[in-house]
Amino acid sequence: MFRSRSRKIAAAALAVMAGIALSTLPARHMKGADHAEATGVAGDPGADIADVFAFLDPNDNSKVVLALDVEGFIVPSELLNLSFFSPDVTYRFEIENTGDARPDASIEVTFSPQTSRSAPQTATIRFFDRERRHLSWSFTAPTTVQTLNGTPNPFVVTTDPKTDVSFFAGLTDDPFYFDIVGFNRFVSSVLAGTPDPTQLQRARDSFAGYNIHMIALRVPAFMLRGLPANSVIGVNGVTLRNKVTVRRDDGREDDDEDESKGKLVQVDRMATPAVNTALIPFPRKNEYNSATPVDDAAGRFAGDIVATLQALGTNNTNIGILASVAVTKGDYLRLNLNTTNTSVGAGEKVTTPGYTGFPNGRRPGDDTIDTLLYFISNQTLLTGDNVNANDVPLGGSFPFFAPPQQPRVTGVIDDNTRN
């Protein structure tokens, strides 16, 4: 990988430096972008957002692709039993387009109950403008049904003829890639006083071989710009459940007869990867998930985030960059709709000429962990966790994610998992 011994030593030194810095993180066991990062969502997989994506369709920059995924680590052999979206969860994309922290529009997705393993659920997609008070449009679409065959069922994409909005929901390969174990072993070695950067050379993608529940939309950009049209939008993924649910003796769940009918409570939120996972102290992680970007901009978590970054040795310039992404105007994925995008980011670094990805929105292939480590290390460390790409190729058209990992056919031994 490196051409000379001196480069190897330099890379190792930088890795040690970052490791020493990262060892001071309040969350010493980093799990993923946002997979099961807090106790409140770790026990509620159907509402646990793992990642959020926002990028210009590389084939048609007049469209924005929005995606969020929940309930990761679905093993291929269980993909039939576990392949459904909770009918009790509201999945919401909050859109901010005026430069403050307050959402100006939202897209909500809900699902009918699953009635059969071989029948799709029906998703209802609703667009609200003016801070969710006005329903602008809605349509329904089927989910993609799964199979235990060696070849996955093709993705079912529905395009609403009135709005030209496309929708997909179903299992995909988990697009996030990161060596959880190597990273945590390295941090442990630093904590023990014997920094061992070779732990970062495992280069094993902890998410390889597993599937996740993906919800993706492709939306004409003008719908998200607001009036007057703005060039930068913020995207925040949110899950909500009914505030009160009554569990009945016959197994039904009912919220119709309670006075709280219709009231929703936020279960999880996610925009910038790894903010809650890496920068928020453990005792405040559930609180962070329940809070809003308005709270972020008001400084509710700024002290914790800045203190963590300072402890990491991050200088004011790079704290400023990271704060502008996740604190100053609230934690949103901010995407410039006027920045031409021609790829899904696979194989690119933040320093790649012409790079247009995270922290400008987030594309499926963007190496967000390496990018965050790059800014945390004052733009010195580029090798990150040495996992540089997803385990399988991403798609070339909407929804751009890879098909689900299937149970292997007879004679195939490797299941792709890299534990």
| Binds Ca ion (CB under 5 A): choice among 24, 82, 100, 184 | 100
- Residue 275 sits at the vertex; the CA angle it makes with 219 and 128, to the nearest 5 degrees, is 30
- Phi, psi (5° rounding) for residue 12? -65, -40
User: Which position has the token pair 């051409």?
Assistant: 3
Task: Return the DSSP state at 362.
Answer: B
In the complex, what is the shortest distance from the CB of residue 415 to Ca ion, in angstroms, rounded to a whole number? Answer: 13
Distance, C-alpha 130 to centroid of its chain: 25
In the complex, what is the shortest distance from the CB of residue 106 to Ca ion, in angstroms, rounded to a whole number? Answer: 11
| Binds Ca ion (CB under 5 A): choice among 48, 129, 331, 348 | 48
Q: Rounded distance, CA 223 to CA 14, Å?
A: 44
The tokens for 237 are: 């993924």
State which residue, 120 or 237, has the beta carbon closest to Ca ion.
237
| Binds Ca ion (CB under 5 A): choice among 15, 180, 369, 376 | 369
| Binds Ca ion (CB under 5 A): choice among 174, 296, 331, 348 | 174
User: Which position has the token pair 């909407």?
Assistant: 398
In the complex, what is the shortest distance from the CB of residue 329 to Ca ion, in angstroms, rounded to a whole number? Answer: 9
Q: Decide: is 173 part of the binding site for Ca ion (CB under 5 A).
A: yes
Q: One symbol per residue from 280 to 319: x for binding Ca ion (CB under 5 A), - otherwise; what is it?
A: ----------------------------------------
Interface segment toward Ca ion; rule CB under 5 A; list 86-94, 302-310, 321-329, 366-374: 366-374
In the complex, what is the shortest distance from the CB of residue 224 to Ca ion, in angstroms, rounded to a whole number? Answer: 12
**CB atoms near residue 130 (< 10 Å):** 11
Q: Rounded distance, CA 370 to CA 327, Å?
A: 20
Q: How far is CA 156 from CA 83, 159, 203, 327, 368, in A?
A: 14, 10, 33, 37, 28
Helix (H, G, I), strand (E, B) or coil at 93: strand
State which residue, 100 or 287, has the beta carbon closest to Ca ion.
100
Q: Nearest to residue 141, comparing CAs of 170, 117, 118?
A: 170
Interface segment toward Ca ion; rule CB under 5 A; list 100-108, 291-299, 320-328, 371-379: 100-108
**CB atoms near residue 327 (< 10 Å):** 24
Interface segment toward Ca ion; rule CB under 5 A; list 18-26, 306-314, 357-365, 367-375: 367-375
Q: Nearest to residue 22, comparing CAs of 109, 412, 14?
A: 14
Size of the site for Ca ion (CB under 5 A): 20
Interface segment toward Ca ion; rule CB under 5 A; list 14-22, 71-79, 92-100, 156-164: 92-100
Task: Return the DSSP state at 80.
Answer: T
| Residues of this chain, 231-270, that bind Ca ion according to CB under 5 A | 268
| Residues of this chain, 372-411, that bind Ca ion according to CB under 5 A | 384-385, 387, 390-391
Q: Decide: is 98 part of the binding site for Ca ion (CB under 5 A).
A: yes
State which residue, 322 or 402, has the beta carbon closest to Ca ion.
402
In the complex, what is the shortest distance from the CB of residue 367 to Ca ion, in angstroms, rounded to a whole number? Answer: 4
In the complex, what is the shortest distance from the CB of residue 245 to Ca ion, in angstroms, rounded to a whole number? Answer: 20
Q: Rounded distance, CA 13 to CA 377, Å?
A: 12
Contacts of 397 (CB under 8 A, 6+ apart): 59
Residues at the interface with Ca ion (CB under 5 A): 34, 41, 48-49, 96, 98, 100, 102, 104, 173-174, 268, 367, 369-370, 384-385, 387, 390-391
